[in-house]
Amino acid sequence: MFGIKGQGKAFAIVAVLMGISAPASAGDERALYASLGEIARSPIGWVEFCAENPGDCSGGASQPRDIVMSQTAWRDLLRVNNWVNETVKPLTDMEHWGVIEKWSLPSDGYGDCEDYVLLKRKMLIDAGWPREALLITVVRDKKGEGHAVLTVKTDKGEFILDNQNENVVAWTETGYRFVKRQSQSDPNVWVSLGDSRPAVATASAHDR
């Protein structure tokens, strides 16, 4: 109905959006939201991106805000995720810029994982979504490699927009290990998500 495929968990999410599911148990509630840890170092490339694009990093400290996940909001997430994934062509930073790591908006139609994330985040913010609910997130993907995704914080849990997945899924359904992400209170502060292994949000364009 909403573009989610397979698995009982997906149907449960649809049911929640339609207001017909039973309340989650305490254990389920904990699984809806990732556990936050200590302040972490920003990913390689973020500071340089902000220096070149201050408007995408401004705002300073603010109150955390979650999206109310309506059917309209869900369709908007699917539309943005699909449009960016289909429009931007995968290209590593080395192929694109001649450097190992560079964060940039894919204005020329090419980019790697963090570039997909930056564009999805910008499109949603430009459409009126609160920055505080749209968090760039560093994970270890299924191959154990560094990867960037966009976490959308909602009253129904945390959902992931990903260039490796055409569907929007709950963070627990990605198969990834979550490492760190932007703080809801300040986009230039990053917080650990409990994985102590070092991770860099490097290109994963060839994994699509």
Task: Specify the pLDDT at position 141.
Answer: 94
pLDDT score, position 61: 72
Mean pLDDT by 10 residues, the chain (208 residues): 35 40 44 90 96 86 89 96 97 96 96 98 96 96 95 97 95 95 94 66 45
> CATH number of the domain at 8-207, out of 3.30.1330, 3.30.780, 3.40.50, 3.10.620?
3.10.620
List % helix, strand, coil for the chain (3-state, nearest 5): 35, 20, 45
Please report the pLDDT score of residue 31 as a whole number: 79
Write down the pLDDT at residue 45.
Answer: 96
Residue 89 φ then ψ, to 5°:
-95, 135
Q: What's the pLDDT at 78? A: 96
Name which of 173, 7, 208, 204 is nearest 92 in CA terms: 204
Strand partners, 178: 139
pLDDT score recorded for residue 43: 96
Q: Given CA atoms 80, 114, 86, 3 in this order, what sign does their dihedral have?
A: negative
pLDDT at 63: 85
